[in-house]
Structure 1
Amino acid sequence: MTYSWPVVLKSEDLTLQALRFRDRPRWNNVRAENRDWLSPWEATIPLIPGDAAENASRLPSYFEMVRTLNSEARSGRSFSFAIWHQRNLIGQISLGGVILGAMRGGHIGYWIDKNYSNRGFTTQAVTALTEYSFSALNLHRIEINLRPENAASRRVAEKAGYIFEGERPRYLHIAGNWRDHVVFVKENPAIK
């Protein structure tokens, strides 16, 4: 199945849209300015015996990333959006790991520019992507997995109506190590 892409989502203060090639300077700037702010929460690639070590830690170029994100969205596996406040690129949010069939679910991940944190923007973005996931994709269940010590991200999940479900020990490779996470879940009320 091919999905309609690109998609633009709107909230009260934000526009969520696919990253474009022309967004590269803004994306690079906001990522560089927020490197220290984001590094404790960033996913990393573990070195696995037998993997091609020379490629394991190489990040894709911006253009490779945009092409991959668009391909994944058209195939329905993952949907990634730049978060825009007026003319400012302030973050990114993704619905990944989309599974149909008996599960019909996925998981949301996000990051926000430190200059725009604690202003409700991340919650608006999560709410908009959740609504899209439920109404346009007809998903049943969305998860947000976060580090237990990330109080700001926990508040985002709770304000967006996600319910604490449990703990996931050593769930995801973050900042160079396997880290514990807690999971928050929201189910689509239209799908019984």
Structure 2
Amino acid sequence: MLAPWQHGQISIRLVRQRDARVLQEELLANRAWLQPWEATTPGTRPSFDMRSGVRRLLQQYRDGVGIPLVMEYEGEVAGQLNVWGIARGSLSTATIGYWVSERFAGRGITPTCVALATDVCFSDFGLHRMEICIRPENVASLRVVDKLGYRYEGLRKAFIHIDGDWRDHHCFALTAEEVPDGVLRRWLEGRVPPGIGLKP
């Protein structure tokens, strides 16, 4: 079981089945805030049944293809961060996706948790490359990758079905060699190369 990782009052830990209720409440309470950025499945209605959702995520963790985490602030669930699409072998890569409740926005929770999760994937799970894909309209998430020094790699057309349609995404990535001391430490020490996350 993945141990909690923490910086100050902000932490990430593996999701538990008993988190389903609070996650469902946060998702429902934050519809207007989250809906424009939520992945959808063509031809189906969104489901907010987090009991089955958490079960599915934990099965993916047991299968080694995902790491489902909750983001916490002062011990309270603030959002969710999923490492998904883990590929081993010659790729050794994965993708990070996340959401945070509106009432916790602006407290540095998301960049801290993304940095912690990236470091965990490099150090504890032995991955080589981490990727984050963001809609061009998602200014808040674009700020996260810029702060942390995720490197811009290009545009993926109609990449993910979001809020009812296929949406373009900007792709950002980091490899373990780029952050030998860790993403969190590099950010906190002000050593992120300026403009590395900006689109050319």
Please list, as runs of the form range in 1=range in 2, the aligned pairs for 1:5-154 lying within 5 A after superposition.
5-47=1-43, 56-57=44-45, 59=47, 61-154=49-142
Deviation for aligned residue 1:8? 2.1
User: How many residues are paired up?
Assistant: 179
Measure the CA separation in 2 of the matches of 1:22 and 1:100. Answer: 30
Measure the CA separation in 2 of the matches of 1:96 and 1:7. Answer: 18
Residue identity (%): 34
**TM-score, reference length from structure 2:** 0.83
1:18-58 per-residue CA deviation (whole Å, 9 max, x = no partner) reads: 222322332222112211100000000013xxxxxxxx546
Deviation for aligned residue 1:190? 7.8
CA change 1:67–1:25 in 2 (3 A) is closer
Unaligned stretches of 5+ residues in structure 2: 180-200
Contact 1:13 1:121 in 2 (8 A): no
Measure the CA separation in 2 of the matches of 1:60 and 1:30. Answer: 10
**Which structure has the higher relative contact order (CA within 8 Å, separation 6+)?**
1
Contact 2:10 2:113 in 1 (8 A): yes
* SS, match of residue 95 in structure 1: strand
CA change 1:174–1:32 in 2 (3 A) is same
Deviation for aligned residue 1:11? 2.3
